[in-house]
Amino acid sequence: MNADLAAIQDDALAAIGAAADSTALEQAKIDFLGKKGRLTGASALMKTLPKEEKPAFGQGLNAARQAITAALEEKQTALQDAADLASVAGIDVTLPARGLPIGGLHPLTRIKDDAIQILRRMGFALAEGPEIEDEFHCFDALNTPADHPARNEKDTFYFDSGKLLRTHTSSVQVRTMEGQRPPVRIIAPGSAYRRDEIDATHLSVFNQLEGLFVAENVSLADLKGTLIYFYQELFGADTELQFRPHFFPFTEPSFEIDIKLHVPGREPKWIEVAGCGIVDPAVFEAICKSRGDDVYHPDKVTGFAFGMGLDRLAMIKWGIKDIRLLIENDTRFLSQFA
């Protein structure tokens, strides 16, 4: 190789070898291979050489460029390896990993899943309906007169169109009967909305689960048997229930269900968990009118219905004191259920 080229290559390899970091290495690259670098400068000599010397000089140039490029790459890798090692210096990489935190189901999801599972075992199928409802499905078909307080603007969220956010999932029961002949055995879990003042036991949206069973000769005994079994499955075989007479426009007779709550160190107390009753014949008549047939005629079928707030059931099950915890997504609260 031409003596000048050999000297340039030697100097380049020495500079690369001496580069302590990537900035120095970049400088070495510029000094030798850059536009104004020494090897680039040497290549300009080409045109001054006699023709017969050109091929050898060209080969020499290539060889020097390749040697320098290879040295640059090798040094770059070595610098990177050293930086990688330095970044884990002092860390014992043989220690077991810390692991990712494990997520868990929200308490509302858990209580809903439990409730659905119990009711499905009893033959109830899941049904759905819209959260934005009309007055017919939410009130009129459910024998709720125009002047009933639940229909008040103060209690219900209305849209300008006259539609509303459903105040209960009973509307799904109406829709199911409109679309399906008896027998019907459904549950409708879903959100319901009321203009409640927000406090420790009220939100303006809550999670409801309603059920409906319509067939020939469905009786109050069926209703009681179903719901006693349900709550004892959910809260334990020793759960005590009481059916307290109440009024709902869409059922007659109607009851509220209380379960007896045992709080350590305190007198047990009854707490309301559901409304229920035997479907009022006026509801069946409205369904017949809407369907245009008489398969739901009150002389042919009877039924029972019930509705409960899942939020309250979760609060009872886990002793949660404030309903707002259920929607705040504070992981200090949620992680207790994971």
Q: Which residues in this chain contact ligand PHE in the complex, by CB under 6 A? A: 168, 170, 210, 248, 251, 254, 275-277, 305-307
At its nearest, how many Å lie between ligand PHE and the CB of residue 255?
8
DSSP H helical ranges for 88-106: none
Task: Say if residues 288 and 296 touch (Cβ distance below 8 Å).
Answer: yes
The answer to whether the bond into 130 is cis (omega within 30° of 0) is: no
At its nearest, how many Å lie between ligand PHE and the CB of residue 188?
10
For ligand PHE, which is the closer residue by CB, 13 or 111? Answer: 111
For ligand PHE, which is the closer residue by CB, 9 or 251? Answer: 251
At its nearest, how many Å lie between ligand PHE and the CB of residue 182?
17
Between CA 153 and CA 198 the distance in angstroms is 17
Between CA 15 and CA 30 the distance in angstroms is 11
Provide long-range contacts, Cβ within 8 A and 24+ apart, for 195-198.
195/154, 195/155, 195/156, 195/157, 198/324
Strand, helix or coil for residue 58: helix
For ligand PHE, which is the closer residue by CB, 9 or 208? Answer: 208
At its nearest, how many Å lie between ligand PHE and the CB of residue 245?
12
At its nearest, how many Å lie between ligand PHE and the CB of residue 325?
23
For ligand PHE, which is the closer residue by CB, 37 or 277? Answer: 277
For ligand PHE, which is the closer residue by CB, 115 or 276? Answer: 276
For ligand PHE, which is the closer residue by CB, 57 or 304? Answer: 304
The answer to whether the bond into 253 is cis (omega within 30° of 0) is: yes
Torsion angles phi and psi, residue 300, rounded to 5 = -100, -35
What's the 3-state SS for 223-249?
Answer: HHHHHHHHHHHHHCCCCCEEEEEEEEC
For ligand PHE, which is the closer residue by CB, 16 or 283? Answer: 283
Quickly list DSSP for 256-290: EEEEEE--TTS--EEEEEEEEEEEPHHHHHHHHHH
End-to-end CA distance of the chain: 74
At its nearest, how many Å lie between ligand PHE and the CB of residue 211?
8
